[in-house]
Structure 1
Amino acid sequence: MKQSIKKVLALTLALMSAGALYAQSNKQITVTGKVKFPDPTGKYKIYLGQYVGDGFAKAFKAMDSTALDANNTFKFTINTNKPDFYQVRVYYMDRIDFWADKDDLKINFRGIDTAKRIVKNPPYIRIEGSADNDVVNHTNFVNYRNYQSTILLYNQLYKAEQAKDSLWVASVKRTIDSLNSDVKARIRNIVEIYKDKPTVLYALNGLRGKADEPFVMSVLDNLIEKYPNLQQAKATKKEMAAAKAQTEKIANGKAAPDFAYPDLNGKKWGPKDFKGKYVIVDFWASWCGPCRQEIPHLKEVYKKYKDKGLEILAVSVDAQPEKWKKAMDEEKMAWPQINAQDSKPVMSSYLFSGIPYLVLLDKEGRIIEKNLRGESLDKKLKEIFGI
């Protein structure tokens, strides 16, 4: 009798395991949502996809697309045997990253109404239905509020610099520094709260500075120990190691990474073409407000130091050349202009993701300083030229 009971229990457990395995192999969730202001032309779609590639070479790859139904709603189904981050893009304007695992999600979008141009002030988008995505929601809200405040402050900085009011400039810069410290502290707090969840990887993207490295590494090690199969954590460690190695390669005093992109006539330019001169490499784009606000200042710098041996190389990261050309016509810059239509390689080699990004090189093509602008650029040039 006991032997029969054991056989029945063994068979039951085997069937339960098989059922669990079958269920696991068919694990799915749905992602639904509504778009308040749909595209009136009807030619744009809603996309589901992921980022593929490593580091700055990562690019969004669409896996599926759909149109809105009569109620302006959409729906995607995702196989979540291996939980991971995905992204929904609405008309390639609004977008949101989310963690897909066990819960169905609802994500509503505002849509196209405020899109006066292709790049607009990104709205805050909330993910509903999943406690796992709380860390994403909290992180996005912190970044959203920080972005709004940053826009206001840089507008003030531009006005202060135009007014040549040094006290006003200094005051705004102190506020900007305080804002940067504040957002980092808030992100760090989110990481502390959610450090045992795989989705904390999303918040860690905001803590990639040298000072943050020990803390970030401790969180990653904790995740890897807790979830040995969490490949995303291992990949993040690998990316950080690669970024650290590249940081050392572009330290001040090191040779600037070379590149070559075409000007309007198809002639390719790069740092090596300016040996014997000091050169400002200005990474910018037509759609970048702060970039274009810096141009009048660069014109003053160019006029002041051109005959002293300074040159400027403007590297547009516009993906659409026609917009780059239009901006050049409007700005009338007198220095060489090139277009890095595929900007990922050069952004990866110089390790920047935001623009404007100015790099000052010496006569031998070595890096003097990175991420200069406004007053900091003036100060450095005065050290070099003495005026």
Structure 2
Amino acid sequence: MIKKGLTLAIAALLMVSNSFAQKGKTVTFTGNVKFRDTENKYPIYLGKYEGEGFNRAFKAIDSTSVDKNNNFSFKVPADKPDFYQVRVYYFDRIDFWADKDNIHVNVRGIDTAKMKIKNPPYIYMENTSAANDLINDVNLASYLHYQSQIAAGQEMYKASLAKEPKWIEYSKDGYDRVGKDLNFRIKYLINKYKDQPSVLYALNYLSPKRDQELIMSTLDYLIKKFPNLSQAKARKKEILDGIAQAEKIANGKKAPDFAYPDVNGKKWGPKDFRGKYLIIDFWASWCGPCRQEIPHLKEVYKKYKDKGLEILAVSVDAKQDAWKKAMAEERMTWPQINAQESKPVMAQYLFSGIPYLVVVDKEGNIIEKNVRGESLDKALEKIFGK
């Protein structure tokens, strides 16, 4: 009995010892920067995204700088495996799954090009196991997709210059083709790495509406395989909440109301336009496509104003000065309001990119969402005729 009791005591002690061994567990993330920040303007951050949906934001938990050999390192908490991100001078961002991999990256650092363009590089993480191999593969697919988008845009431009009808018609589908290609690659990677908790990273590249079945079946599989994977449970809840909200703003449903001030402090919202057809234009001063759509909106407004159409421009600019400057430049003649705190209205209408236009009927019901250019024209022709 004494021997048996001693054995049990030792076993219990080992269990306690092992549990304490996990507490304080870390992995190492190291990097080498090709072009260092010689002016010491920018730190290198370690952080993670916190919050859900439109309230999700990056939060730094540590920072550092490079040594004399342009190297840097972080000790990353790994008691509870999770996604983290390293930001190098705001130019390079590396997402990774902190569990057991000691990761190394080589990054460019400061952009030394005379003409700086938005074309994020592909950064390969070394020393990775399957969990971070997935992120490497997804990032490569995303990088190639971005390059294909650039090529598709260039082809459309060259086709328009050549004025070759068949080439113009073919090039119009360029963005759709490269989009379908990315979707196929991401689905392949999800099936390949479905046993990895980090497959959550790949799910972010799918559409909750179009790919709902695969997303939900993958989440259910993860929750069953990893009962303590709180990230999978939170993601499932977020998607279900999004589906419920999408039903609330389906075509034919009431447009969610909001109220934001114009330059004089007067608040406007959809309810102020009852009895009129309304275009709600979510835009910002820094958004090129938004500014490019404005001349078309002026044509639309001129054509249909006397037939009962109004426009409400909702800027999501965080800086009022930039908003006011853009308004002065664009000279729009319809009501202009500024949603400096834009996350609530973006969550209501379920959009993350702009321009985002919503067409509302006289009773305040949604007719169409996410329309512009030709699709906006078609929506209005259904209402007013040609």
Which TM-score applies when normalising by structure 1? 0.88
Secondary structure in 2 matching 1:211: coil
Q: Indicate the residue corresponding to 2:141 in structure 1.
A: 142
Q: Indicate the residue corresponding to 1:27 in structure 2.
A: 25
Q: Indicate the residue corresponding to 1:303 in structure 2.
A: 302
| Residues in 2 aligned to 1:256 and 1:376: alpha-carbon distance in whole angstroms | 19
Q: Indicate the residue corresponding to 1:43 in structure 2.
A: 41
Q: State whether residues 275 and 364 of structure 1, in contact with CA within 8 Å, keep that contact through their aligned partners in structure 2.
A: yes
| Residues in 2 aligned to 1:165 and 1:355: alpha-carbon distance in whole angstroms | 31
2:361 is equivalent to residue 362 of structure 1: yes
| Residues in 2 aligned to 1:255 and 1:116: alpha-carbon distance in whole angstroms | 50
| Residues in 2 aligned to 1:118 and 1:49: alpha-carbon distance in whole angstroms | 26
Q: State whether residues 114 and 120 of structure 1, in contact with CA within 8 Å, keep that contact through their aligned partners in structure 2.
A: no
| Residues in 2 aligned to 1:322 and 1:47: alpha-carbon distance in whole angstroms | 29
Give CA deviations for 1:159-179 in whole Å, capped at 9, x if unaligned.
Answer: 989999987765344232222
Give CA deviations for 1:260-310 in whole Å, capped at 9, x if unaligned.
Answer: 223333333222222222222222233333223323322322232223222
Give CA deviations for 1:129-187 in whole Å, capped at 9, x if unaligned.
Answer: 22211111211222222233334545666898999998776534423222222211111
| Residues in 1 aligned to 2:356 and 2:117: alpha-carbon distance in whole angstroms | 19
Please give the residue correspondences for 1:156-235 in structure 2 after superposition, counting only pairs within 5 Å: 170-235=169-234
The one-letter code matched in structure 2 to 1:371 is N
Secondary structure in 2 matching 1:127: coil
Taking a change above 3 Å as real, the CA distance of residues 336 and 152 of structure 1, as seen in their structure-2 partners, is farther
Q: Indicate the residue corresponding to 1:82 in structure 2.
A: 80
| Residues in 1 aligned to 2:218 and 2:289: alpha-carbon distance in whole angstroms | 34
Secondary structure in 2 matching 1:313: strand
Q: State the identity %.
A: 62
Secondary structure in 1 matching 2:47: strand
Taking a change above 3 Å as real, the CA distance of residues 299 and 90 of structure 1, as seen in their structure-2 partners, is farther
Secondary structure in 1 matching 2:245: helix
Q: State whether residues 46 and 63 of structure 2, in contact with CA within 8 Å, keep that contact through their aligned partners in structure 1.
A: yes
| Residues in 2 aligned to 1:159 and 1:317: alpha-carbon distance in whole angstroms | 34
Q: Indicate the residue corresponding to 2:111 in structure 1.
A: 113
Taking a change above 3 Å as real, the CA distance of residues 73 and 274 of structure 1, as seen in their structure-2 partners, is farther
Taking a change above 3 Å as real, the CA distance of residues 151 and 319 of structure 1, as seen in their structure-2 partners, is farther
| Residues in 1 aligned to 2:295 and 2:159: alpha-carbon distance in whole angstroms | 14
Q: Indicate the residue corresponding to 2:121 in structure 1.
A: 123
Structure 2, unmatched stretches of 5+, are none
* Worse-matched range after superposition: 209-218 or 321-330: 321-330
Secondary structure in 2 matching 1:279: strand
2:317 is equivalent to residue 318 of structure 1: yes
Q: Indicate the residue corresponding to 1:243 in structure 2.
A: 242
Give CA deviations for 1:340-366 in whole Å, capped at 9, x if unaligned.
Answer: 222211111111122222111112221
Structure 1, unmatched stretches of 5+, are none
* Worse-matched range after superposition: 337-346 or 118-127: 118-127
The one-letter code matched in structure 2 to 1:107 is V
Q: State whether residues 208 and 215 of structure 2, in contact with CA within 8 Å, keep that contact through their aligned partners in structure 1.
A: no
Q: Indicate the residue corresponding to 2:89 in structure 1.
A: 91
| Residues in 1 aligned to 2:376 and 2:158: alpha-carbon distance in whole angstroms | 18
**1:53: how far off?**
1.6
Alignment length (residue pairs): 385
Of residues 54, 58, 61, the one that matches 1:60 is 58
| Residues in 2 aligned to 1:198 and 1:89: alpha-carbon distance in whole angstroms | 23
Taking a change above 3 Å as real, the CA distance of residues 70 and 201 of structure 1, as seen in their structure-2 partners, is same
**1:10: how far off?**
4.7
Give CA deviations for 1:95-141 in whole Å, capped at 9, x if unaligned.
Answer: 23211111112233333316889993333233222221111121122
Q: Indicate the residue corresponding to 2:284 in structure 1.
A: 285
Of residues 101, 104, 109, the one that matches 1:103 is 101
Please give the residue correspondences for 1:335-346 in structure 2 after superposition, counting only pairs within 5 Å: 335-346=334-345
| Residues in 1 aligned to 2:157 and 2:341: alpha-carbon distance in whole angstroms | 29
Taking a change above 3 Å as real, the CA distance of residues 22 and 349 of structure 1, as seen in their structure-2 partners, is same
Q: Indicate the residue corresponding to 1:376 in structure 2.
A: 375
Q: State whether residues 293 and 372 of structure 2, in contact with CA within 8 Å, keep that contact through their aligned partners in structure 1.
A: yes
Q: Indicate the residue corresponding to 2:348 in structure 1.
A: 349
Secondary structure in 1 matching 2:304: helix
Taking a change above 3 Å as real, the CA distance of residues 313 and 191 of structure 1, as seen in their structure-2 partners, is same
* Worse-matched range after superposition: 119-128 or 345-354: 119-128
Taking a change above 3 Å as real, the CA distance of residues 317 and 303 of structure 1, as seen in their structure-2 partners, is same
Q: Indicate the residue corresponding to 2:260 in structure 1.
A: 261
Q: State whether residues 85 and 95 of structure 2, in contact with CA within 8 Å, keep that contact through their aligned partners in structure 1.
A: yes
| Residues in 2 aligned to 1:275 and 1:160: alpha-carbon distance in whole angstroms | 44
| Residues in 2 aligned to 1:370 and 1:193: alpha-carbon distance in whole angstroms | 35
| Residues in 1 aligned to 2:157 and 2:283: alpha-carbon distance in whole angstroms | 17
| Residues in 2 aligned to 1:263 and 1:159: alpha-carbon distance in whole angstroms | 42
How well do the aligned residues superpose, as a CA RMSD in angstroms?
Answer: 3.0
| Residues in 2 aligned to 1:243 and 1:82: alpha-carbon distance in whole angstroms | 27
Secondary structure in 2 matching 1:110: strand
**1:383: how far off?**
1.5
**1:189: how far off?**
0.7
Secondary structure in 2 matching 1:20: helix
* Worse-matched range after superposition: 220-229 or 14-23: 14-23
